[in-house]
Structure 1
Amino acid sequence: MKPLSILLAAGLLLTPVSAGASPMLLVDASTGDILAAQEATRSWHPASLTKMMTAHLALTAVQAGRASMDTSIVLSPKAAAQAPTKLGVPPGTSLRLEDALTVIMVKSANDVSMAIAEAIGGSEEAFVAAMNQEARRLGMTGTRFVNATGLHDDRQVTNARDMALLMLVLLSFHADYLDLLRTPAVTVNGRMLKNTNKLVEEYAGLEASKTGYVCASGFNVAVSALRGNRRVIGVVLGAPSAATRTLVMRELLDNGLSEGTSPVGNLRTMRAAAPTPAADLRPLKCGRQASGRLEAKVSGSAAKRTDAQPLR
Structure 2
Amino acid sequence: MRPPTDPAEHGTLPGASERPDPVRHPHGLPRGLPRRSRLVAAGAAALITVAVLGTVISVGGKDGGPGTSGPLSGGKHEPGVTSLPWPREGQAAVRLEGFGDRGDLGTHGPNRPVPIASVTKVMTAYVILRDHPLRRSESGPRITVDRQAADESVSGIESSVPVTQGQRLSQRRLLELMLVPSGNNIARLLARWDAGSQEAFVGKMNRTAAGLGMTRTTYTGASGFEPTTTSTAADQLKLARQVMRDEVFRSAQSHTVVPGTSRTLDNTNALLDTPGVVGIKTGSSTPAGGALMWAVTVPDRRGRQHLALGVVLHQRAGTSPQEGLRTVFDCSRALVEAVRSQVATAPSPTVDVASGSR
Structure exhibiting the larger radius of gyration computed from Cα positions: 2
Q: How does 1:146-295 map to 2 (within 5 A)?
A: 146-154=220-228, 156-172=229-245, 174-179=246-251, 182-188=252-258, 189-200=261-272, 202-227=273-298, 228-240=304-316, 241=323, 242-259=325-342
CA-to-partner distance for each residue in 1:196-244, whole Å, 9 max, x for gaps?
31223x2222233101112210111101111234211111112232222
Counterpart amino acid of residue 29 in structure 1: E
Which residue does the alignment assign to 1:26? 94
In structure 2, how many angstroms separate the alpha carbons of the residues matched to 1:40 and 1:153? 18
For normalisation by structure 1, the TM-score amounts to 0.71
SS in 2 for 1:177: coil
Q: Which of the two has greater helix per residue?
A: 1
CA-to-partner distance for each residue in 1:3-48, whole Å, 9 max, x for gaps?
555x5xxxxx55xxxxxx3111111122343324222622111111
SS in 2 for 1:144: coil
In structure 1, how many angstroms separate the alpha carbons of the residues matched to 2:104 and 2:294? 15
In structure 2, how many angstroms separate the alpha carbons of the residues matched to 1:236 and 1:128? 23
Matched-pair contact (CA < 8 Å) for 2:227–2:287: no
In structure 1, how many angstroms separate the alpha carbons of the residues matched to 2:145 and 2:215? 32
In structure 2, how many angstroms separate the alpha carbons of the residues matched to 1:238 and 1:214? 10
In structure 1, how many angstroms separate the alpha carbons of the residues matched to 2:98 and 2:249? 19
Task: Give the superposition deviation at 1:101.
Answer: 0.8
CA-to-partner distance for each residue in 1:252-297, whole Å, 9 max, x for gaps?
11212333699xxxxxxxxxxxxxxxxxxxxxxxxxxxxxxxxxxx
Which residue does the alignment assign to 2:51? none
Counterpart amino acid of residue 95 in structure 2: V
How many pairs are equivalent? 243
After alignment, is 90-99 or 108-117 more displaced? 90-99
Show structure 1 runs of 5+ residues with no match: 8-12, 15-20, 263-312
In structure 1, how many angstroms separate the alpha carbons of the residues matched to 2:247 and 2:279? 10
Which residue does the alignment assign to 1:102? 176
Which residue, out of 160, 182, 198, partners 1:124? Answer: 198
Counterpart amino acid of residue 237 in structure 1: L
SS in 2 for 1:249: helix
In structure 2, how many angstroms separate the alpha carbons of the residues matched to 1:60 and 1:69? 15
Q: What is the RMSD of the two structures over their aligned residues, measured on CA atoms?
A: 2.4
SS in 2 for 1:190: coil
Which residue does the alignment assign to 1:136? 210
